[in-house]
């Protein structure tokens, strides 16, 4: 729960922060309740949707764009909320249940998942921008605590910049995707979400990006910066104080064949599983 801002504060707030706040409030005060009403027959309270409406009023009064993907989704949810408030049972447009992959799809998915590796040597071929964009898009579809979407990116593709921020442990890559976090949803609210969600969000985003890069045939390695490098990046790119570089994905066309570092067994990794179907 992120707490509350006055209308005056929201009228002055940076639009990207207001949008994060709106997504968080919609997530906690509309989305959960709406699906519970539609699919579990729960009653909606008298103030259902009111907080989100207040923020949307500010959004509209400030003339901020309504055609952004997340804002459009919020308007759709609010329409469904109105229908549900009237006691009707709306059908979420485009809503879907999870479906198991067919055997060929499962083969492809497992190939992708289990053959992703960390590569630290690359050939000279450049990585096209469209690939970087697909990778970023995959990152941005990761799960995100309170739907805050705190990830922000700096893409390094200029050889001089790549050299300046190189990881001394391996070759200079062709592209470096720096994953930063916008901490305002945690730092500037009176009731912040659990602190650890910040890094979990970035981790989820990074794993999605690593898998997409692998699906495109690129080889990459994930690593973290020293505090000095973090300061250097913030300075070089003029990042505001609420954007913190966290980690990065180095990418290129791999020039090494690596063996999979075999993983531990379940016996060592699973500490407890009471109630396991079939028993031990």
| Minimum separation from the CB atom of position 232 to ligand FMN (A) | 17
Cβ 114 to ligand FMN shortest distance, Å: 9
What DSSP assignment string belongs to 31-45?
Answer: IHHHHHHHHH-PPPP
Please pick, from the candidates 170, 225, 237, 253, the single residue that binds ligand FMN as defined by CB under 6 A. Answer: 170
Name the one range near ligand FMN by CB under 6 A: 30-38, 112-120, 152-160, 176-184: 112-120
Residue number with the smallest Cβ distance to ligand FMN: 223
What six digits make up the tokens of 220? 């990459």
- The answer to whether 117 contacts ligand FMN (rule: CB under 6 A) is yes
In total, the chain counts a number of residues equal to 280
| CB-CB contact of 171 with 245 (8 Å) | no
222 binds ligand FMN (CB under 6 A): yes
93 burial via Cβ count (<10 Å: 0-12, 13-18, 19+): exposed
User: Does position 214 bind ligand FMN by CB under 6 A?
Assistant: no
- For residue 172 the two structure tokens come to 């200079």
Q: In the chain, where do the E strands start and end? A: 151-156, 175-182, 219-224, 243-252
Q: How far is the CB of 256 from ligand FMN (least distance, A)?
A: 11
C-alpha distances (whole Å) from 82 to each of 35, 40, 75, 86 are 13, 17, 11, 7
Q: Which segment (60-68, 86-94, 117-125, 238-246) binds ligand FMN by CB under 6 A? A: 117-125
Q: Does 118 bind ligand FMN (CB under 6 A)?
A: yes
Largest CA distance in the chain: 62
CB of 249 to ligand FMN, least distance (A): 10
Q: Which is nearer to ligand FMN, 119 or 186 (CB)?
A: 119
> Could you say whether residue 73 binds ligand FMN (CB under 6 A)?
no
Report the nearest approach of ligand FMN to the CB of residue 65 (Å).
35
- Degrees, nearest 5: CA angle 268-273-274: 145
**Buried-state track 147-159, b at ≥16 Cβ within 10 A, e below 16:** bbbbbbbbbbbee
Give the binding-site size for ligand FMN (rule: CB under 6 A). 10
Q: Which stretch binds ligand FMN (CB under 6 A): 16-24, 177-185, 218-226, 234-242?
A: 218-226
Q: How many CB atoms lie under 10 A from the CB of residue 201?
A: 24
Residue 17 binds ligand FMN (CB under 6 A): no
Q: Is 132 in the site for ligand FMN (CB under 6 A)?
A: no
Residue 221 found at the interface with ligand FMN (CB under 6 A) = yes
- Interface residues with ligand FMN (CB under 6 A) are 117-118, 120, 169-170, 221-224, 261
């Amino acid at each position: 729960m992120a707490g509350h801002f006055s209308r005056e504060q929201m009228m002055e707030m940076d639009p990207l922060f207001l949008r994060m706040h709106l997504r968080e409030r919609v997530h906690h005060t509309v989305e959960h309740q709406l699906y519970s009403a539609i699919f579990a027959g729960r009653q909606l309270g008298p103030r259902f949707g009111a907080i989100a409406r207040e923020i949307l009023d500010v959004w509209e009064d400030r003339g901020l764009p309504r055609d952004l993907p997340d804002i459009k989704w919020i308007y759709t949810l609010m329409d469904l909320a109105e229908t549900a408030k009237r006691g009707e049972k709306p059908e979420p447009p485009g809503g879907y249940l999870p479906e198991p992959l067919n055997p060929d799809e499962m083969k492809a998915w497992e190939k992708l998942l289990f053959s992703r590796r960390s590569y630290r040597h690359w050939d000279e071929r450049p990585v096209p921008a469209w690939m970087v964009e697909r990778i970023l898009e995959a990152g941005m579809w990761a799960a995100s605590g309170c739907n805050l979407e705190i990830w922000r990116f700096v893409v390094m593709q200029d050889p001089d910049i790549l050299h300046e921020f190189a990881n001394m442990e391996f070759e200079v890559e062709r592209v470096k995707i720096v994953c930063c976090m916008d901490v305002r949803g945690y730092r500037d609210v009176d009731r912040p979400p659990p602190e650890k969600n910040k890094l979990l969000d970035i981790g989820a985003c990074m794993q999605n990006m690593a898998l997409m890069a692998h699906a495109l045939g690129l080889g990459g390695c994930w690593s973290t910066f020293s505090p000095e490098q973090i300061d250097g990046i913030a300075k070089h790119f003029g990042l505001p104080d609420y954007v913190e570089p966290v980690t990065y994905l180095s990418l290129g066309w791999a020039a090494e064949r690596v063996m999979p570092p075999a993983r531990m067994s379940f016996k060592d990794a699973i500490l407890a599983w009471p109630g396991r179907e079939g028993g031990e």
